């Protein structure tokens, strides 16, 4: 069987902390016989591959997820980890013709660590993705292998390397679990932010030490407002985001990062309002303006 190896492209495109921990500083012991294990355990939690169904040999899509189950207090990171840390990365090894899609990232939590803030997840978290199976694959079992590098932190950080694999067709034990996995993947998908509706308006202004991000949702919404920047080193993650409301319009004061290299063309991030689903907003950044006639209320 010909195997093909590739790195998750979304992660590879991310720039700085992409290769967050390619190291062998800590290596979770993987005995040779466990090369086919679906789940890998470390002291800080486990990582596993889950799927909604078995489509070996039949072609089509399989909804899948990379699931972390973390010990209390430990967290893994969102695609933008915030002040420190790095997101999980995966190197896939799949049979010829099989395609593994990029992760969808559920809206993270703000995790204060002393005076810093990280973005990430505690507890049981699933990063959903899609596997596309070619129609011709049948007969012998197919193995999808993930070499996962994950940084898991509490008051200390541990870089972990784990190898997990999914064998299709699923064995009986795995088949029996697919209804529960289907629910987990669906729940995770519901927590993935969607593009903001086209009638929302989002703009940003360079206001010296801060960006003023103005978003006008289609209707007034109540609840705590949070902005999670998609890109690192634009916004000071730990700074309080001061929100001003004028009708439906929300204005957030986002302190610039001390590591900001240049004013970006766009501020892109996930906006959450109350307990509602996160929306991805992309706000063009306008040059610094001291006088905005007619904008006073």
Query: Under the rule (CB under 8 A), what is the footprint of other proteins?
Result: 16-26, 83-86, 113-116, 118, 153, 155-159, 209, 232-233, 236, 238-240, 242, 244, 253, 255, 258-261, 295-297
Could you say which DSSP state residue 256 is in?
B
Neighbours of 87 (CB within 10 A): 26
Closer by beta carbon to other proteins, 199 or else 297: 297
Minimum CB distance to other proteins, residue 180 (Å): 34
Beta bridge partners of 268: 282
Minimum CB distance to other proteins, residue 203 (Å): 16
Closer by beta carbon to other proteins, 26 or else 200: 26
Give every CB contact of residue 283 below 8 A, 6+ residues apart in sequence.
202, 203, 204, 213, 214, 215, 266, 267, 268
Beta strands 157-168 and 142-153, pairing class: antiparallel
CA trace torsion 142, 171, 91, 58 (10° rounding) = 40
List the end-to-end C-alpha distance of the chain, in Å, as a whole number.
68
Minimum CB distance to other proteins, residue 140 (Å): 35
Neighbours of 276 (CB within 10 A): 12
Beta strands 210-216 and 249-255, pairing class: antiparallel
Residue ranges of alpha helices (H) inside the chain are: 9-12, 172-190
Closer by beta carbon to other proteins, 42 or else 153: 153
Closer by beta carbon to other proteins, 5 or else 244: 244
Closer by beta carbon to other proteins, 153 or else 165: 153
Give every CB contact of residue 262 below 8 A, 6+ residues apart in sequence.
none
Minimum CB distance to other proteins, residue 130 (Å): 28
Minimum CB distance to other proteins, residue 26 (Å): 7
Closer by beta carbon to other proteins, 19 or else 39: 19
Q: Compute CA 109 distance to the chain's CA centroid, rounded to the nearest angstrom.
A: 11
Minimum CB distance to other proteins, residue 31 (Å): 23
């Amino acid at each position: 069987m010909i195997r093909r190896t590739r790195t998750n492209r979304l992660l590879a495109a991310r720039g700085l902390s992409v290769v967050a921990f390619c190291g062998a500083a800590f290596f979770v012991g993987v005995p040779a016989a466990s090369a086919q294990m679906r789940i890998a355990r470390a002291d800080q939690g486990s990582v596993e591959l889950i799927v909604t169904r078995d489509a070996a040999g039949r072609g089509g899509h399989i909804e899948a997820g990379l699931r972390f189950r973390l010990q209390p207090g430990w967290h893994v990171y969102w695609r933008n980890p915030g002040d420190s840390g790095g997101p999980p990365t995966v190197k896939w090894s799949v049979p010829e013709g099989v395609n593994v899609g990029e992760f969808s990232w559920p809206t993270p939590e703000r995790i204060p660590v002393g005076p810093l803030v990280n973005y990430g997840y505690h507890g049981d978290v699933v990063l959903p993705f899609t596997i596309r199976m070619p129609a011709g694959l049948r007969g012998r079992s197919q193995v999808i292998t993930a070499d996962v590098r994950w940084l898991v932190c509490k008051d200390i950080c541990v870089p972990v390397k784990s190898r997990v694999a999914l064998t299709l067709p699923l064995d009986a034990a795995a088949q029996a679990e697919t209804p529960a996995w289907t629910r987990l993947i669906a729940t995770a998908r519901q927590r993935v932010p969607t593009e903001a509706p086209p009638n929302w308006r989002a703009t940003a202004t360079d206001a010296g030490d801060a960006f003023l991000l103005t978003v006008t949702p289609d209707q007034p919404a109540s609840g705590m407002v949070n902005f999670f920047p998609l890109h690192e080193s634009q916004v000071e993650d730990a700074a309080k985001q001061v929100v001003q409301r004028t009708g439906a319009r929300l204005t957030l004061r986002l302190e610039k990062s001390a590591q900001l290299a240049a004013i970006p063309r766009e501020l892109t991030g996930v906006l959450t309002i109350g307990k509602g689903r996160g929306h991805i907003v992309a706000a063009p950044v306008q040059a610094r303006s001291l006088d905005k006639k007619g904008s006073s209320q």
